[in-house]
Amino acid sequence: MDDLKAKYLDQIANAADEAVLEDIRLAAVGKKGEVALKMRELGKMTPEERQAAGPALNALKDEINSALSAKKSGLADAALDERLRNEWLDVTLPARERPMGTIHPISQVQEEVTAIFAEMGFAVAEGPRIDTDWYNFDALNIPGHHPARAEMDTFYMHRAEGDDRPPHVLRTHTSPVQIRSMEKTGAPTRIICPGGVYRADYDQTHTPMFHQVEGLAIDKDISMANLKWVLEEFVKSYFEVDNVDIRFRASHFPFTEPSAEVDIRCSWEGGTLKVGEGDDWLEILGSGMVHPKVLQAGGIDPNEWQGFAFGMGIDRIAMLKYGIPDLRAFFDSDLRWLRHYGFASLDMPTLRGGLSK
């Protein structure tokens, strides 16, 4: 029996491929193999002999089987290794192109602004781009002869002959949304109104369409000090700095009283803006306490309610934050510009994760 074992284990060890191995298996442990034939002889043995030979034969069979399976997987491994040795790729070849889209800076910044003000409790209101001159001017305490009307370079809609109503305008600011929103929801309120506005002006710093965000907060006891806090918090959050000096400069807007223009402390070094340091001041927005006449126009009793409003340019703060030099390029849809200044689809600005990368 030891001969048998030595013979087959030797054959298995020397088998060159799986076919040889199968022949060995049949010859050794197949139905008609040598081990099977030996097992058939067990019946002729005495019980004593059988007790010794039976387990020995079984052990021999197990041993040959496991040697076969070990050799088999060894051969398979070797074959795989051999195949992989031939499967070589130039992995420096370029991958399949995946299209990469971008989000326009105006959309991105609008989302940033919305995220910040939402945190402070401001909802988002909207209104029409074409509006009546009442909503755009009169309701905001800008009567027909007011110099501000002329200064705003208003676009007017064509009026059909015989239609004697004053022409509608392309809204010159987002402020008419204040009025519409007051009419709709009354006081108290906290809203921002982002969107496109229009003025007939075109040069490096002016385009006939640009974007603003308007803010409005009305309550029983809102003061300019609250306005200053809101804007300080906004500027810190938006520009992602820990501290910022903001300066309220007395100014005039027909729809607020008192009014203030707001500057932030900054430095310009080598054409790069740094907010919160340096000796320059940069004007970023206009603001003030809502004029009683404007509250009235919105159907809110100015003896009972008071509040603040502010407005700033989305394109402008986008240019400042992201170092975009020319406003006109925002609207030119140049692929090179869109790819350079655009944002990835998943760069969603959040306060928990940060506004910018």
Partner 1 sequence: MKFTLSWLKDHLETEAPIDDILYALTDLGLEVEGVEDRGAKLADFTIGKIMSAEKHPDADRLRVCQVDTDEGMKQIICGAPNAREGITVVVAKPGVYVPGLDITIGVGKIRGIESFGMMASESEMELSDEHDGIIELDNGEVGQSFVDWLAANDPAKVDPVIEIAITPNRPDALGVRGIARDLAARGLGKLKPAQEVHFDGTFSCPVSVSIDDDTLDQCPVFFGRVIRGVKNGPSPEWLQDRLRAIGLRPISFLVDVTNFFTFDQNRPLHVFDADKIAGNALRIHKAKGGETITALDDKEYKMVEGMTVISDDNGVESIGGIMGGAASGCTEETVNVFVEAAYFDPVRTAYTGRALKINSDARYRFERGIDPAFTPQGVELATQMIMEHAGGEASDVVIAGAIPNVERAYKLDAARIQSLVGMEIPESTQRQTLTALGFKLEGDMAHVPSWRPDVQGEADLVEEVARIASLTKLQGRPLSRLTDGVPKPVMTPIQRRLVAARRTAAALGYNECVSYSFIDQASAKLFGGGTDVTMLENPISADMSHMRPALLPALLQAAARNQARGFADMALFEVGTVFDGGEPGEEHLQVSGLLIGRTGPKDVHGASRDVDVFDAKADAEAVLAAIGAPAKVQINRGAPEWWHPGRHGMICLGPKKVMGVFGEVHPRILAAMNVKGPAMAFTIYPEQIPLPRKSGASRGAMDISDLQAVERDFAFVVDSGVDALALVNAAAGADKALIDGVRVFDEFIGGSLGEGKKSLAITVRLQPRDGNLKDKDIEALSAKVIEKVTKATGGVLRG
* Residues in 236-255 at the binding interface with partner 1, rule: CB under 8 A: 247-252, 254
- CA pair distance 38, 172, nearest whole angstrom: 105
Please name the helix (run of DSSP H) or strand (run of DSSP E) that holds residue 198, with its range, or none. Answer: strand 189-198
**Eight-class DSSP state of 142:** -
Using the minimum distance from each CB to partner 1, give the nearer residue, 39 or 124. 124
Eight-class DSSP state of 87:
-
Contact map string, positions 201 to 230, toward partner 1, x by CB under 8 A? xx----xxx-------x-x-xxxxxx-xxx
CB 174 within 8 A of CB 161: no
Contact with partner 1 (CB under 8 A) among 72, 277, 348, 356:
348
Calpha distance 259→250 (Å, rounded) = 6
* CA gap 43, 45 in Å, rounded: 5
Sole binder of partner 1 in the list 333, 352, 353, 354 (CB under 8 A) = 333
- Shortest Cβ 307–partner 1 spacing (Å): 10
Q: Which stretch binds partner 1 (CB under 8 A): 6-14, 37-45, 77-85, 290-298?
A: 290-298
Is 306 among the residues that bind partner 1 (CB under 8 A)? yes
Residues binding partner 1: number (CB under 8 A): 101
Q: How many CB atoms lie within 10 A of CB 156?
A: 12
**How many residues appear in the chain?**
357
Q: What is the DSSP string of 7-22?
A: HHHHHHHH--SHHHHH
Residue 265 binding partner 1, by CB under 8 A? no
Q: Does 83 bind partner 1 (CB under 8 A)?
A: no
Cβ atoms of 45 and 39 closer than 8 Å: no
* Per-residue mark of binding to partner 1, 42-81 (x: CB under 8 A): ----------------------------------------
331 binds partner 1 (CB under 8 A): yes
- Of 51, 205, 345, 350, the residue at the interface with partner 1 (CB under 8 A) is 345
In the bound complex, what is the minimum distance in angstroms from residue 105's beta carbon to partner 1?
9
Which 98-157 residues touch partner 1, going by CB under 8 A? 98-104, 106-107, 111, 114, 117-124, 126, 128-132, 135, 144-148, 150-151, 155-157
CA nearest 355: which of 272, 243, 240, 275?
A: 240
| Binding residue for partner 1, selected from 232, 241, 282, 296, defined by CB under 8 A | 232
User: 78 vs 159, which CB is nearer to partner 1?
Assistant: 159
Q: Are 210 and 196 in contact (CB under 8 A)?
A: yes
CB 273 within 8 A of CB 323: yes
- As measured in angstroms, the least distance from the Cβ of 87 to partner 1 is 17
Measured between its terminal Cα atoms, the distance across the chain in Å is 76
Burial label for 339, CB within 10 Å (0-12, 13-18, 19+), is: exposed
174 binds partner 1 (CB under 8 A): no
